[in-house]
């Protein structure tokens, strides 16, 4: 299996040594997955902070992590640690049906939409493909991305749904009435 890297640098010179360090650290991904991986890495320097970010599409899911410190090499090492924890979480969740069913039941019980608090000016538009998935798969994707909500096509109803993280814990599901 091969890991393909797309490494970008922002506000820094992307040296061969930095590129080699990223490929060495994140090349370890191949021991966790059977399919070829395409890894997008962005290394950025802002003031005294060095930030490393990675995005990895895997079997319909997206693994994403970022880390920052005062040293780029330390940021890359921390990025790998975060990715490795996410991979373990991802693998554990996919292999444990009871957990998936519990997350699904919890999300369906907590189905309630938060009310909007007035109009804001539109700042950004994102377009993406909605992959049909179950509610439990959407909750897993929400956790892997580290977002507060996730939009998906519900595989059971073919409707567009949103799962979100509730402030008091657990998850909510927004469905069309």
Q: In what order do the strands lie in the sheet with 3-10?
A: 3-10, 37-46, 49-58, 61-69
Where among 78, 95, 112 does a domain terminate?
A: 95
Specify whether 51 is located in the same domain as 23. yes
Cβ atoms within 10 Å, residue 46: 11
Pairing type for strands 49-58 and 3-10 reads unpaired
Whether residues 150 and 169 fall in one domain? yes
Same domain, 18 and 91: yes
Q: Which domain holds residue 101?
A: 97-174
Same domain for 161 and 144: yes
| Euclidean distance between CA atoms 154 and 172, whole angstroms | 14
Whose tokens are 């005062």? That residue is 70
- The pLDDT value given to residue 115: 44
CATH code of the domain covering residue 40: 3.30.160.100
Helix, strand or coil, per DSSP, at residue 134: coil
Let me know how many helices (H) and strands (E) the chain has, helices first. Answer: 4, 8
pLDDT band at 36 (very low <50, low <70, confident <90, very high): confident
In a shared domain, residues 8 and 82: yes
Tell me the per-residue pLDDT of 70-106, one tens digit each, with 9 for 90 and over. Answer: 999 999 999 999 999 888 887 776 666 555 566 666 6
Asked whether the beta carbons of 94 and 86 are under 8 A apart, the reply is no
């Amino acid at each position: 299996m091969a890991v393909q890297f797309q490494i970008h640098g922002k506000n820094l010179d992307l040296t061969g040594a930095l590129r080699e360090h990223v490929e060495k650290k994140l090349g370890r991904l191949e021991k966790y997955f059977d399919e070829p991986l395409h890894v997008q890495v962005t290394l950025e320097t802002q003031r005294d902070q060095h930030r490393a970010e990675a995005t990895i599409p895997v079997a319909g899911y997206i693994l994403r992590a970022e880390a920052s410190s005062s040293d780029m090499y330390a940021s890359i090492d921390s990025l790998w640690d975060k990715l490795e924890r996410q991979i373990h979480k991802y693998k554990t969740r996919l292999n444990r049906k009871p957990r998936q069913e519990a997350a699904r039941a919890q999300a369906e019980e907590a189905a309630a939409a938060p009310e909007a608090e007035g109009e804001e000016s539109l700042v950004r538009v994102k377009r993406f493909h909605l992959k049909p998935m179950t509610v439990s798969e959407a909750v897993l994707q929400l956790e892997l991305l580290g977002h507060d909500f996730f939009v998906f096509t519900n595989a059971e109803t073919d409707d567009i749904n949103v799962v979100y993280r509730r402030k008091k814990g657990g998850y909510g599901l927004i469905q069309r009435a």
